Chains A and B, each alone.
Chain A
Amino acid sequence: MQEINEKYEPLIVAFCCNWCSYAGADLAGSSRLSYPANVKIIRVPCSCRVNPMFILKAFQRGADGVILCGCHPGDCHYTTGNYYARRRMTMLFDMLDYLGIERERTRVEWVSAAEGNRFAAVMNDFAAKINELGENKRLEDLRCKN
């Protein structure tokens, strides 16, 4: 039998708010900064748009890590959206931790439109962390695996 020597490639989903973080990702791109290609960006109008279900469904569909990026607190395009997102995600992360699911798989970072560097750095760091954790086993849906 042929030895399987596939390098594990984590799949990362990044929810980015339209006004800051998505522009930050854009800047990272136009500045030719590199971040892992397996980060899939999903643009949302505001970090507050992200419902816990989005995050769980990303895991269901095979994500190994999910990161939510929004404007820095105080800078939300809609004034307060990210404050609400902050409380919600705090609750969700606590719950995932409580159920014994690795808490490092989910993260929230505030990235402004001017922080292309920071965007790339955050993604590199997150991807490295997920690489370390390996495949998502605790929140996987077996029906999506084959």
Chain B
Amino acid sequence: MQELENLMIKKAVELLDGGVVDRVIGWKKGEFYYDNTPATFYKKEELNDFVYNGFCGANLSKYLVAESKKGGKVLVFLKPCDTYSFNQLLTEKRIDRDKVYTVGIECRGHLNIESIRARGIEGVVGLEEKGDEVTVKTLYGDAKLKRGEVMLEKCLSCKTKKFAHNACDETIVLHEMPEEDPNKRFSMVIELEKMTPDERFAFWKSQLSKCIRCNACRNVCPACTCFKCVFDNPDSGIAAKANDDRFEEKLFHIIRSFHVAGRCTDCGECSRVCPQNIPLHLLNRKYIKDINELYGEYQAGAEAGSRAPLVDFREEDINPGENLKEGK
């Protein structure tokens, strides 16, 4: 990791010095190793705080929407999964490709502090990553964990670490990146589909009732780039901030996931940021699975410029609800 970080900093310095870019988007060191913040670096000296470790799960591509409205050129480091979001944003013409210099970087899956806490390890003040082992230092002593046990959901079910075409101007990859079983992604969706409607209803009721309507899932989503979100429009008649009724939560989450259906690259940011740890990716993945099954395999963001399934059709498409008829 350290080697990789050094190379990234070297690359950033080189590009800043050469005048290719005038700023860099990356991650900035936090206080406890796990709390890195996405940040923009303007000067070489600021790069002292640049970090790339196991807690850089944040997807930087959405920041490019705002960045490409500014002058100059920006360097961005993209993990393999972020390249999909980047391509999707290019497709939707939200990013000006000429204003961005992209460097694809190696990823071994990122870690989740919440999973570490969920294992009863509290008071985490520092970590050490060594191969597949993670040593956690806490106020109450050290603990050793396997990397695979505490990865982010999105990394545990990584779609692939193959870089999306054309997304990167260059890449920094030192080791072969581990691939996950691609079928893992939909296993929980399939499990839910197998339940009875009552069980599914109970599952979602208990999950969605936790929603505090903070809108973190929407704000972090690289596919949610509307200038004015329907949920922010007081004239739409949707009291977006109220959470006093179960209907509102269902409405919000159905519509949120629907609005990105076919455009969602499954970057997993919605679930990562949810303060209540609602498995929101299960909604998005349901749409992805349905689209794959009904309209042919499609990976949003695999290539820039592809036509999303929900703005496309075939004459022979099935009628709504037909696939649900013969008891699944």
Binding site for B on A (CB under 8 A): 52-53, 56-57, 59-60, 73-74, 80, 83-84, 86-103, 106-108, 110, 138-143
Q: How far is the CA of A99 from the CA of B205 in the complex (A)?
A: 8
Contact A87 B309 (CB under 8 A): yes
Name which residue of chain B comes closest to A138, CB basis: B201
Other than the given A86-B313, A87-B310, A142-B246, 19 more pairs (CB < 8 A) read A57-B251, A60-B251, A83-B315, A84-B311, A86-B319, A89-B321, A91-B290, A92-B254, A94-B286, A95-B258, A98-B283, A99-B204, A99-B254, A100-B198, A100-B200, A100-B203, A100-B205, A101-B197, A143-B244
The 9 closest A-B pairs by CB, nearest first: A100-B201, A100-B200, A83-B313, A89-B320, A141-B247, A108-B320, A90-B320, A100-B197, A93-B321
Q: Mind listing 15 A-B residue pairs with CB under 8 Å?
A: A90-B317, A90-B318, A90-B319, A90-B321, A91-B290, A92-B320, A95-B257, A95-B258, A99-B201, A99-B254, A100-B197, A100-B202, A100-B204, A141-B247, A142-B245
Contact A52 B324 (CB under 8 A): no
Q: How far is the CA of A107 from the CA of B294 in the complex (A)?
A: 18
> Shortest beta-carbon distance, A12 to chain B, in Å?
16
Q: Specify which of A57, A80, A90, A143 lies most central, judged by the most chain B CB atoms within 10 Å of its CB.
A: A90
Interface of chain B: mostly helix, strand, loop or mixed = helix
Which of A91, A100, A101, A102 lies in contact with B258, CB distance below 8 A?
A91
B295 near A: Cβ within 8 Å? Answer: yes
With a cutoff of 8 Å between Cβ atoms, the chain A residues found around residue B315 in the complex are 73-74, 83
Contact A56 B254 (CB under 8 A): yes
Name which residue of chain A comes closest to B289, CB basis: A94
Q: How far is the CA of A104 from the CA of B254 in the complex (A)?
A: 18
With a cutoff of 8 Å between Cβ atoms, the chain A residues found around residue B229 in the complex are none
B193 near A: Cβ within 8 Å? Answer: yes
With a cutoff of 8 Å between Cβ atoms, the chain A residues found around residue B245 in the complex are 141-143
B199 near A: Cβ within 8 Å? Answer: yes
Name which residue of chain B comes closest to A95, CB basis: B254
Q: How far is the CA of A91 from the CA of B202 in the complex (A)?
A: 21
Determine the interface band of chain B, counting residues with CB < 8 A from chain A: 35 or more
Name which residue of chain B comes closest to A89, CB basis: B320
With a cutoff of 8 Å between Cβ atoms, the chain B residues found around residue A89 in the complex are 320-321
Contact B323 A94 (CB under 8 A): yes
With a cutoff of 8 Å between Cβ atoms, the chain B residues found around residue A100 in the complex are 197-205
Contact A90 B201 (CB under 8 A): no
Q: How far is the CA of A91 from the CA of B200 in the complex (A)?
A: 17
Q: How far is the CA of A15 from the CA of B251 in the complex (A)?
A: 19
> Shortest beta-carbon distance, B318 to chain A, in Å?
7
With a cutoff of 8 Å between Cβ atoms, the chain A residues found around residue B203 in the complex are 100
Contact A108 B321 (CB under 8 A): yes
With a cutoff of 8 Å between Cβ atoms, the chain B residues found around residue A83 in the complex are 313-315, 317
Which of B230, B247, B310, B322 lies in contact with A88, CB distance below 8 A?
B310
B12 near A: Cβ within 8 Å? Answer: no
